[in-house]
Amino acid sequence: MAEWLTRISLSCFALSYLIALLLEISRLFYRVSVRSVVIFTMMLAGIFAHIIYLWDKFQSDFSGGTPLARWYDWCLVISLALAITYTIVALQRVRHSVGIFFLPVILGLILFAVSIEDRQPFSAQERGDVWGMTHGISLLAGTVSMAIAFTTGLMYLVQASRLKRKLPPQAGFRLPSLEWLQVCNRRSLFLATGLIMIGLFSGIIMNMLFENELKDIVPWDDMVVISSSVLLLWLIVVSVFEMLYRPARQGRKIAYLTIASFLFLIMVLCFVIFGQHAEAPIVAIMWSGGGV
């Protein structure tokens, strides 16, 4: 696909999501009977363009041997997963302003992807194997789950604050019940913890295999390895705290901890993307079909 057409495709779904966000914000100011239909239409159009863009890019990269071999691609895949999640939630909660919380995260990921588009792809040493695919896919899915937990946790805090201060319902701004938000936050947090655990352990196994085969490895004292281990320990503690400490089931404390966990995850990802780990084969093997 021509470069100018690729740019238009990315601009198309980003613009669709931006229009959907503006329409969500407009709920605060005036009522329009067809607004939900327009938002849903814009999201479907954006998701369609998003999928076509990624599919074309996947095919193009596959012919070269390494599809989805850049952080640019990963950010766009995560943003697509969140866009689909938001659309499903919006269909179930038509009168709720969930898009005000989901769409900025989606657009932020797209903007971040554009900012790192010129970074070099992962360097691959050999053909992908089960550990490489497990490592990449589980970390990708874990990041999506953590982003959903962050969004629902943020909504919980806003809704809890409004109820605590006994604020009257604001026209055009309605959020799901605290019970619903708590369940979503809890499940997303548990899922993210499990997936990130799988991703970290599969990465450790790959590093050990590389070490035995005298190949390049990620040093065990690398900042990414240390910070990822601390992140996993933190998520496990938060999950256990949520399960065992009954007052946490009210949701407020766990929502704060979830937001802190997401920010921690962002910090770790920054270490990965902008550090030496970005060039390491332990990440690159994910979809590698050969050398780049």
List of domains in the chain: 1-118 (1.20.120), 129-292 (no CATH)
Inform me whether the pLDDT recorded for 101 exceeds 80: yes
Which tens digit of pLDDT belongs to each residue from 212-226? 655 555 666 666 667
The CB-side HSE value for 261 (13 A sphere, CA atoms) comes to 35
**What pLDDT, on the 0 to 100 scale, is given for residue 106?**
94
- CA 280 to chain CA mean position, Å: 22
Nearest residue to 286 via CA among 95, 131, 144? 131
Q: Would you give the DSSP letter of residue 222?
A: -
d(CA 89, CA 96): 9
**What pLDDT, on the 0 to 100 scale, is given for residue 132?**
67
Inform me whether the pLDDT recorded for 14 exceeds 80: yes
**What pLDDT, on the 0 to 100 scale, is given for residue 240?**
81
Inform me whether the pLDDT recorded for 162 exceeds 80: yes
For the chain, what is the mean pLDDT? Answer: 77
Q: CA 134, 135, 140 angle in degrees (round to 5)?
A: 95
Tell me the whole-structure pTM to 2 decimals.
Answer: 0.78
**What pLDDT, on the 0 to 100 scale, is given for residue 247?**
62
Inform me whether the pLDDT recorded for 160 exceeds 60: yes
**What pLDDT, on the 0 to 100 scale, is given for residue 261?**
81
- Which tokens in the block code for residue 263? 């920010």
**What pLDDT, on the 0 to 100 scale, is given for residue 126?**
41
Which tens digit of pLDDT belongs to each residue from 268-285? 777 666 655 544 443 433
Contacts of the segment 156-164: beta carbons below 8 A, 24+ positions apart: 156/181, 156/182, 156/185, 156/251, 156/252, 156/255, 157/252, 157/255, 157/256, 157/259, 160/251, 160/252, 160/255
